[in-house]
């Protein structure tokens, strides 16, 4: 699962955003959830109606917000939807070639959001720090007999 997580989220980017946003991080992550749900729904609706123009803005929004939190796979899918939709608008084509990406979008969004929220939870189990293995007891050096 660790490999799957690494392809979903770039934890370095996530940590950098967390540092930069400070106390507002959890609130902004909540906005990402709300905006993401709206964007995914708008993309699905636009695809059902084969409306390439209606795909562009929600895909663009989702791409940018995903990148901010290190949600790599989600960002890449949204970027592909945006790029192809723009081309379809330009050439007056139907966006049917995006069906596979649109179908994959919601599950990737939900799985990614679950990982981000789990990591953002102050009560969540954290990744081990460098040099320690998960589950290793912290040994107390001072005052040991």
Reported as a pLDDT band with limits 50, 70 and 90, residue 124 is low
Residue 100 has pLDDT above 50, yes or no: yes
pLDDT of residue 138: 46
> Is there a contact between 13 and 70 (Cβ–Cβ < 8 Å)?
yes
Residue 76 has pLDDT above 60, yes or no: yes
CATH of domain 2-120: 1.20.120.160
Residue 114 has pLDDT above 60, yes or no: yes
pLDDT of residue 14: 96
> Is there a contact between 113 and 101 (Cβ–Cβ < 8 Å)?
no
pLDDT of residue 130: 52
More confidently predicted of 139 and 24: 24
Q: How many CA atoms lie within 13 A of 80 on its CB side?
A: 13
> Is there a contact between 78 and 105 (Cβ–Cβ < 8 Å)?
yes
> Is there a contact between 78 and 63 (Cβ–Cβ < 8 Å)?
yes
Reported as a pLDDT band with limits 50, 70 and 90, residue 90 is very high
């Amino acid at each position: 699962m660790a490999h799957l997580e690494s392809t979903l989220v770039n934890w370095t980017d996530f940590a950098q955003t967390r540092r930069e946003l400070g106390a507002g991080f959890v609130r902004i992550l909540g906005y990402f959830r709300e905006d993401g749900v709206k964007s995914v729904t708008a993309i699905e609706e636009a695809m059902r109606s084969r409306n390439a123009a209606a795909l562009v803005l929600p895909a663009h929004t989702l791409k940018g917000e995903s990148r901010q939190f290190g949600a790599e796979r989600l960002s890449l899918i949204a970027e592909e939807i945006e790029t192809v939709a723009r081309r379809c608008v330009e050439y007056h084509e139907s966006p049917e070639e995006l069906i596979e990406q649109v179908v994959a979008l919601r599950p990737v969004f939900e799985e990614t959001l679950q990982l981000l929220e789990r990591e953002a939870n102050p009560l969540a189990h954290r990744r081990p720090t460098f040099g320690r293995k998960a589950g290793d007891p912290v040994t107390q050096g001072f005052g040991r007999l």
